Structure 1
Amino acid sequence: MYVVIFRATVRKLDAEYSAVAKRMRELAIDQFGCIEFHSVTEGVNEVSLSYWPSEENIRAWKDHPEHLLAQQAGRERWYQSYTVQVAQVGREYHLAT
């Protein structure tokens, strides 16, 4: 399993951002095999974690035309800066109550 860690400094978020973010999450899960997708914004900091079965799934999602447009809008309008990290999960623990 792989995790994509997206960390951004927010410039400005608007209603269109919310709609695009929702669509990107749905696209990742419904069409590209994303297992889980979580985002948190606190002040000007945004962190998103998405979990994937393979790097091929990640690349296919990254290069999808809709996602490419969303990336462009992010660079031009919504984010001051961002970092993307892709890591392989080596271990996982759970507590179930």
Structure 2
Amino acid sequence: MSPFAHTHEPPYYAVIFSSLRKADDLGYAETSDRMVELAKLQPGFLGVESLRGDDGFGITVSYWESEAAIKAWKQQAEHTEARRRGRLEWYEHFELRVARVERAYAGPRGERE
């Protein structure tokens, strides 16, 4: 399985979630896996890319067809509960940014698969 999200031609949206996890993050991994499973079922979901360093800092970028799809995901019940737990239990700090992707390229030959 490729670590790259397979999106369609722009425009589309990227939700960029940067976070620093607490040392004691019991239940985080299971919840994170569940959120990816659920997101894949959401209308308008295009893909996700995620990395986390040994220091607890991570970045997850999810890709969506529209702002309406992002809003619907934010309102999904299990996702709402996961966000609540994240604020209270798992994250020292986080930042979330939403961006419209206007152009996208792939390489090394510039081809999109």
Is TM more than 0.5 here?
Answer: yes
Give the distance between the partners of 1:60 and 1:88, measured in 2 at CA.
Answer: 17
CA contact (8 A) 1:32 1:58 kept: no
Structure 1 residue ranges without an equivalent (≥5):
none
Matched to 1:29, the amino acid is: K
CA contact (8 A) 1:34 1:52 kept: yes
Q: CA RMSD in A?
A: 1.3
Aligned residues: 96
Shift of 1:31: 2.2
1:84 to 96, 100, 109: 96
Question: Which TM-score applies when normalising by structure 1?
Answer: 0.91
Larger helix percent: 1
Give the distance between the partners of 1:74 and 1:23, measured in 2 at CA.
Answer: 14
Is 2:81 the counterpart of 1:58? no
Is 2:31 the counterpart of 1:31? no
Give the distance between the partners of 1:81 and 1:90, measured in 2 at CA.
Answer: 29
Larger radius of gyration: 2
Question: Which TM-score applies when normalising by structure 2?
Answer: 0.79
The C-alpha deviation readout for 1:46-75, integer Å capped at 9, x for no partner, is 100001100000010011111110001101
Structure 2 residue ranges without an equivalent (≥5):
1-11
